[in-house]
Amino acid sequence: MTTQQPLLVFRWGIISTGEISKAFVKDILLDPKTRGVQDVVHKVAAVGSRNIESAISFVGKLIDTDERTKVYGNYSGVYNDPDVDVVYIGTPHTFHYQNAVDAIKAGKHVLVEKPATTNAAEFRSLVDLAAKHGVFLMEAMWTRFQPIALAVKRVIDEGRIGAPVLVHADLSGDFDIENLPLTHRILDPNLGGGAILDLGPYPLVWAIIALYEHPANRRLKPMVSSSMIKTPLTGVDRSTCFTLNFPELAAQAQLSCNINVPSQSISATLRFRNGNILIPEPLYRPKSFTVQYFDRPSSGKVQREETTHFEVLGGGWHFQADEVARCVRDGKPESSVWGHDKTLLEMEIFDEVRHQGGYRLPEEAI
Ligand SMILES: NC(=O)C1=CN([C@@H]2O[C@H](COP(=O)(O)OP(=O)(O)OC[C@H]3O[C@@H](n4cnc5c(N)ncnc54)[C@H](OP(=O)(O)O)[C@@H]3O)[C@@H](O)[C@H]2O)C=CC1
Ligand SMILES: O=C1OC[C@@H](O)[C@H](O)[C@H]1O
């Protein structure tokens, strides 16, 4: 017999009113029952923007007036609002650290957009601060919480496709950089511009699922080698390739990201001894995956293919919100699906990639 959890009404404070904050809020306000969630509902208790007009317009467009969402022309109002349980941070990369520090010091749980910080030292310091204040902290690595990622993980764990050998994954996007203002977050080094910090988390998440999380890897960190091509427009990385070596598995990941070419139709191929898993674009929210089984181990000859499709109501950002709510309800300091170790690994890999590529951000908080 299963015991029914009482319904949790989880109250979000939203920091900033840009594109991702809009997408996140639209998703969390969808009826959770449409994705089979019975124990949690999300409410937007407060929205903070640098500009009060923007907060008012955001709430007017996206949130039912019955919700009585409070608006602030700053972020501190949200941090200090007693009706807010958790703060969602949707500002550009280089502000994540300070925004998270402010929220945590106000005693709020935090979900911070990817990349959680601009470097590993900043994230380590957030982990310590969150522990000191007894609050939950997670990077918004939404792809890892989508049903498709959970299903791919099940296929790997079930073991029929054997041991992992090689992961190829790329997330590219044509941002038309020649015609973008140099102050756009994708180009501006002051906002952490370039491919690695913005797009890099997505090829990496599939390598983490297939290789880092593989039980035979024993959570060992990979060795990193990489190269970058920078754009002369602002000096941020236009194209980055990075390779991760997992000696314990004798396996590698070849990952790439680029801000001025379109993505590829098959964006990731996870190669195993007895078969492959193919993941189509967009790599951050694929709608299907295909498992190819070989006729015998290592033959490369596909005997059978199975494609699984996923229908999701909304953009797919709500699954991570459900995880945050449940972790907070259960008193957990971090998620077991996307815990602090994985964000730290991500940040350390990106530090090394930037070091090897000679890309130092103008101002890193730590
Ligand atoms: N998970 C996902 O799918 C996605 C995640 N992201 C992540 O979200 C973050 C924001 O991206 P996105 O929403 O596209 O960015 P936007 O530029 O659309 O929005 C960022 C918001 O941050 C606030 N802000 C505070 N300081 C500044 C500043 N100096 N310059 C510009 N904006 C500032 C502004 O809100 P206000 O004026 O209201 O204070 C602004 O609207 C990035 O870190 C990115 O990696 C982005 C896209 C998709
Ligand atoms: O997270 C993201 O996913 C999609 C990209 O287009 C965007 O720039 C990025 O921030």
Model pLDDT for residues 331-351, shown as the tens digit of each residue: 999 999 999 999 999 999 999
On whether the CB atoms of residues 60 and 20 are closer than 8 A, the answer is no
The pLDDT of residue 306 is above 70: yes
Using alpha carbons, select from 248, 247, 254 the residue that is nearest to residue 271: 254
On whether the CB atoms of residues 79 and 60 are closer than 8 A, the answer is no
Q: How many CB atoms lie within 10 A of CB 300?
A: 11
Q: What is the percentage of the chain residues whose pLDDT exceeds 70?
A: 99
- The closest-lying atom of ligand 2 relative to the alpha carbon of residue 282 is 4
Distance in angstroms (rounded) separating the CA atoms of residues 209 and 54? 38
Ligand approaching nearest to the C-alpha of 21: 1
Distance in angstroms (rounded) separating the CA atoms of residues 63 and 65? 6
On whether the CB atoms of residues 183 and 291 are closer than 8 A, the answer is no
Q: Given pLDDT bands bounded at 50, 70 and 90, which one contains residue 2?
A: low
Q: Distance of alpha carbon 49 from its chain centroid, rounded?
A: 22
- Residue 199 Cα to ligand 2 middle (Å): 6
Question: Does the beta carbon of 198 sit less than 6 angstroms from any atom of ligand 2?
Answer: yes
Distance in angstroms (rounded) separating the CA atoms of residues 112 and 88? 6
Residues 6+ apart with CB under 8 A from 16: 48, 49, 50, 75, 89, 90, 91
pLDDT of residue 346: 98
Question: Does the beta carbon of 346 sit less than 6 angstroms from any atom of ligand 2?
Answer: no
Question: Does the beta carbon of 246 sit less than 6 angstroms from any atom of ligand 1?
Answer: no
Question: SS3 for 208?
Answer: helix
Distance in angstroms (rounded) separating the CA atoms of residues 151 and 208? 15
Using alpha carbons, select from 238, 175, 168 the residue that is nearest to residue 203: 168
- Residue 186 Cα to ligand 2 middle (Å): 9
Helix and strand numbers (H, E) in the chain are 10, 14
- Higher-confidence residue of 64 and 242: namely 242
Distance in angstroms (rounded) separating the CA atoms of residues 51 and 56? 9
- Which residues of 231-322 form beta strands (DSSP E)? 237-246, 251-258, 266-272, 275-280, 288-294, 302-309
Q: Mean pLDDT over residues 124-128, rounded?
A: 98
The pLDDT of residue 353 is above 60: yes
- Go through the domains of the chain in sequence order and give each one's CATH number: 8-142+317-335 (3.40.50.720), 147-311+346-357 (3.30.360.10)
On whether the CB atoms of residues 194 and 354 are closer than 8 A, the answer is no
pLDDT of residue 3: 64
**DSSP H or E stretch at residue 356:** helix 340-357
Q: How many CB atoms lie within 10 A of CB 228?
A: 20
Q: How many CB atoms lie within 10 A of CB 337?
A: 18
Q: Distance of alpha carbon 63 from its chain centroid, rounded?
A: 24
Question: Does the beta carbon of 284 sit less than 6 angstroms from any atom of ligand 2?
Answer: yes
Q: Given pLDDT bands bounded at 50, 70 and 90, which one contains residue 1?
A: very low
If you average pLDDT over every residue of the chain, what do you get?
Answer: 97
Distance in angstroms (rounded) separating the CA atoms of residues 242 and 43? 40
Model pLDDT for residues 65-102, shown as the tens digit of each residue: 778 999 999 999 999 999 999 999 999 999 999 999 99
Q: Tell me, what amino acid is at 284? A: Y
- Residue 327 Cα to ligand 2 middle (Å): 26
Question: Does the beta carbon of 94 sit less than 6 angstroms from any atom of ligand 1?
Answer: no
Question: C-alpha angle 86/16/64, rounded to 5°?
Answer: 75
Q: Which residues of 266-295 are buried (b: 16+ CB within 10 A; e: fewer)?
A: bbbbbbbebbbbbbbbebbbbeebbbbbbe
- Flag whether the pTM goes above 0.90: yes
